[in-house]
Structures are given as structure tokens and as C-alpha cells.
Structure 1
């Protein structure tokens, strides 16, 4: 039963991804299909059409391991010498600093939110 729930949750999330891609394909929306699918899922969660329990296990698993998805593309870009020749060092430095500030901003925001959530539960 446990494996079945993971598969159903994965299929539900993939379904919203595909719906978002279809919406972007047929309507002139200047957003990626994955974002439209995520917004649709959020709307369905807010309205109660989809229950949080239906996607909670898989979503929390994905959030725990999200940083692993960013490591391979970043490393492959950094070891590519052609990439560095194209960018020049000043643009590379700007990209590095902005990426780190975004990463740290997200980390501190999540940490602040978790601390606030713990205080509210007490």
C-alpha cells in the first residue's frame, strides 16, 4: 500500500505538469508549463478539490532532496572551459554571487518559517 501511494502521488504531480504544458501550448501564456501546472495544483489545493494528503509525502521527499537536482548542471557548467570563455569573468562572478545570495536567502527564509511554525505549535 505504501508504494502504491507514492506512485499515485507521482502520477498526480506528473499529471499537473502535463496539464500545465498543454495549457501553455494552446494558450498564449508567457510562463513555462511547469509553473502553470504548479499554479493549477496550488489552486486545486486551496479550493479543496485535491487534498494535501494526496501529494504531501512525495512533495516533502522532493523538497528534502531538491538541492541534488541543482548540483549536476552547475558542475557541468563550471568545468566547461567554453562556458567560461563565452561569459567572461565579471559576468561569471555576478552569476556566482547572485546564485549564492538566492540560495542563502531561500535557506534562511525556510529556516525562519520552520522556527515560526514550531513556535505556533507550542
Structure 2
């Protein structure tokens, strides 16, 4: 059964609220949005939620994944409990590995463009 956009949105928002309630009740040091995503994943894996129920909205979200993941990631870093758990060496590893990935991607694109130009000529 295909559900409307509104019904799919209510399911996703329901898990967001469920995540916030779970965090408040169990005093979990993570943002409610992250816990809500984990709970939605668990319900999908168990089979309590069918993928068809949220497929249309999920496809739309996957197309715009970068913009939709920025708020949960930012809320992780703003969360004081998360910052207390995270050590500086982990933060340094994250920053250095991100820079390495960025440089490797730039190098790969540059090489690809050179090969592409050579094949055109």
C-alpha cells in the first residue's frame, strides 16, 4: 500500500518525537533526532514498519541527504554531554581524515579531468 506524503511525514516525525522522549526518559547523552533515526532503523529491520510506508519520502530525503544530515551532526557537536565524552584525539582524527578525504577527492577529480581532456584531443 502506498502512503501519501503527509502520512509518511507523520511516521518520520513520530520517530523524531519518540527519539526525543526516549532521550529525556533514559537520560541518553545523544540528540533525540539521532536516537529517533536509530529507532526507525530498528523498527524497519524488525519489520514493524514496512519500507513501502515511508519509501516516497525517503527517496526524496536521499536525494537531498547532505542538507538533511547537517542539523543532526551539528546538534551532536553542540551537545555538551557528547563533547565531554569525545576526547581531543578523536576530534583531531576526524579533522585530519576529513582533510585527507577532501584532498584525495580533489586529486582524483583533477586526474580524471586530465585523462578526459587527453582522450578528447
Q: TM-score, normalised to structure 2's length? A: 0.54
Q: What 5-or-longer segments of structure 2 have no aligned partner?
A: 71-93, 106-121
Query: Structure 1 residues 99, 34: closer, same or farther in 2, change over 3 A?
Result: farther
Q: What 5-or-longer segments of structure 1 have no aligned partner?
A: 71-93, 106-122
Query: Structure 1 residues 39, 97: closer, same or farther in 2, change over 3 A?
Result: closer
Equivalent positions of 1:62-81 (< 5 A) are: 62-69=61-68, 70=70
**CA distance in structure 2 between the aligned counterparts of 1:62 and 1:100, rounded to whole angstroms:** 28
> Which one has more relative contact order, counting CA pairs under 8 Å at least 6 apart?
2
1:67 Cα deviation from its structure 2 partner: 2.8
1:22 Cα deviation from its structure 2 partner: 0.7
Structure number with bigger Rg: 2
Map of 2:58 onto structure 1? 59
Query: Structure 1 residues 43, 97: closer, same or farther in 2, change over 3 A?
Result: closer
1:100 Cα deviation from its structure 2 partner: 7.7
1:10 Cα deviation from its structure 2 partner: 0.5
**CA distance in structure 2 between the aligned counterparts of 1:55 and 1:18, rounded to whole angstroms:** 16
Equivalent positions of 1:77-116 (< 5 A) are: 98=98, 101=101
Map of 1:14 onto structure 2? 13
Question: What secondary structure sits across from 2:29 in the alignment?
Answer: coil
Equivalent positions of 1:32-43 (< 5 A) are: 32-43=31-42
RMSD, matched Cα: 3.0
Question: What secondary structure sits across from 1:53 in the alignment?
Answer: helix
